[in-house]
């Protein structure tokens, strides 16, 4: 009998540290994490270098909409000067690929497409389809000490200071912020409120008071600002779809 009581006591002791993060819903796993937010269109340098077609640059582009191309322009900056390379199909020309590879870092690359759409109309008018994107820095901004140190900081400064059960199933609170080119935490604000001013204040303070990060950096050494979001709650929430939290294309 004593052995049984001893085992039950041990089980309770090991379970105790998790009680503070329990929720009312058994199927709800509380999540708290920081993710980089990318613009709707951004690509890695590796993908840009290997691109062969317009679809390689923009997965949402539909070549099936096009009957014939009038022109395809790649427009961007090279050594501070605006440059343009023109083709006449979905397949990128050698000149266009060279310009893409030589585009100045942290600048927009614009694609301007003039085409006749694929349809059965007698009068088939010329249409235009444009899109723009940036090349993401090779090295994302990072918390000093790495992911483990970041998780520890968030737990100690945010999660342990929140009341038990304050987050419910399908609810997600989001705090957006930026890491400047100097590694400073800036532009901290509530994107999606918890509907509790005290909880929001704890989360904003946790982010605003973080120590400096190592800033995002391109391969050539240029350091740039990068945007992030701190989420707390249920990652199945539809709010996630508004945050542009995704792997880089």
Q: Which strands sit side by side in the sheet containing 109-117, from one edge to the other?
A: 42-43, 127-135, 109-117, 66-78, 81-87
User: Percent of the chain having pLDDT more than 70?
Assistant: 88
Confidence (pTM): 0.79
Domain end, chosen from 118, 135, 152, is at: 135
Which pLDDT score, from 0 to 100, does residue 99 have?
Answer: 97
pLDDT at 231 over 50: yes
Residue 2 resides in a domain = no
Task: Tell me the β-bridge partners of 229.
Answer: 35, 176
Which range of residues forms the domain containing residue 227? Answer: 10-38+139-242
Residue 249 resides in a domain = no
Q: 12-51 burial, b if ≥16 CB within 10 A, otherwise e?
A: eeeeeeeeebebeeeebebebebbbbbeebbbebeebeeb
Look over the chain and give the mean of its residue pLDDT values, rounded to a whole number: 87
The answer to whether residues 187 and 176 touch, using CB atoms and an 8 Å cutoff, is yes
Which pLDDT score, from 0 to 100, does residue 9 have?
Answer: 40
pLDDT in tens, 40-74: 788 999 999 999 999 999 988 999 999 999 999 99
Structure tokens at 217: 């950096």
Which of 8-17, 112-121, 181-190, 229-238 is predicted least confidently?
Answer: 8-17
Which pLDDT score, from 0 to 100, does residue 14 have?
Answer: 34
Q: Domain check: are 120 and 211 in the same one? A: no
pLDDT at 225 over 90: yes
Task: Tell me the β-bridge partners of 189.
Answer: 176
The pairing of beta strand 42-43 with beta strand 31-36: unpaired
Task: Tell me the β-bridge partners of 69.
Answer: 115
Q: Domain check: are 143 and 228 in the same one? A: yes
Number of domains making up the chain: 2
Local confidence band at 247 (pLDDT 50, 70, 90 cut-offs): low
Closest CA to 129 of 184, 78, 65: 65
Q: Domain check: are 146 and 193 in the same one? A: yes
Local confidence band at 195 (pLDDT 50, 70, 90 cut-offs): very high
Higher pLDDT, 141 or 6: 141
| CA atoms of 66 and 114, how far apart (whole Å) | 10
Domain end, chosen from 76, 106, 135, is at: 135
Sign of CA dihedral 60, 175, 196, 24: positive
| CA atoms of 79 and 103, how far apart (whole Å) | 8
Q: Domain check: are 125 and 178 in the same one? A: no
- At a CB cut-off of 8 Å and minimum separation 6, what does 10 contact? none
Local confidence band at 153 (pLDDT 50, 70, 90 cut-offs): very high
pLDDT at 24 over 70: no
Residue 223 resides in a domain = yes
pLDDT in tens, 124-139: 899 999 999 999 999 9
pLDDT in tens, 162-180: 887 788 888 999 999 999 9
Q: Domain check: are 218 and 188 in the same one? A: yes
Domain end, chosen from 79, 110, 135, is at: 135
Residue 247 resides in a domain = no
């Amino acid at each position: 009998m004593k052995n049984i009581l001893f085992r039950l006591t041990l089980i309770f002791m090991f379970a105790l540290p998790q009680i503070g993060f329990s929720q009312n819903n058994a199927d709800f796993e509380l999540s708290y994490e920081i993710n980089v937010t990318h613009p709707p269109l951004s690509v890695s340098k590796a993908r840009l270098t290997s691109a062969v077609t317009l679809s390689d640059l923009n997965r949402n582009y539909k070549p099936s909409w096009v009957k014939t191309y009038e022109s395809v322009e790649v427009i961007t900056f090279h050594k501070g000067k605006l440059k343009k390379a023109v083709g006449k199909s979905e397949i990128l020309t050698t000149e266009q690929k060279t310009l893409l590879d030589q585009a100045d870092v942290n600048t927009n690359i614009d694609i301007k497409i003039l085409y006749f759409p694929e349809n059965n109309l007698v009068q088939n008018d010329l249409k235009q389809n444009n899109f723009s994107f940036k090349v993401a820095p090779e090295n994302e901004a990072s918390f000093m000490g790495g992911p483990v140190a970041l998780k520890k900081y968030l737990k100690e400064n945010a999660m342990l200071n929140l009341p038990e059960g304050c987050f419910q199933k399908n609810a997600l609170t989001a705090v957006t912020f930026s890491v400047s080119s100097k590694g400073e935490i800036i532009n901290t604000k509530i994107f999606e409120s918890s509907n509790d001013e005290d909880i929001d204040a704890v989360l904003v303070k946790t982010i605003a008071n973080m120590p400096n990060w190592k800033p995002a950096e391109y391969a050539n050494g240029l350091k740039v600002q990068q945007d992030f979001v701190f989420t707390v709650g249920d990652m199945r929430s539809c709010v996630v779809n508004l945050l542009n939290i995704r792997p880089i294309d």
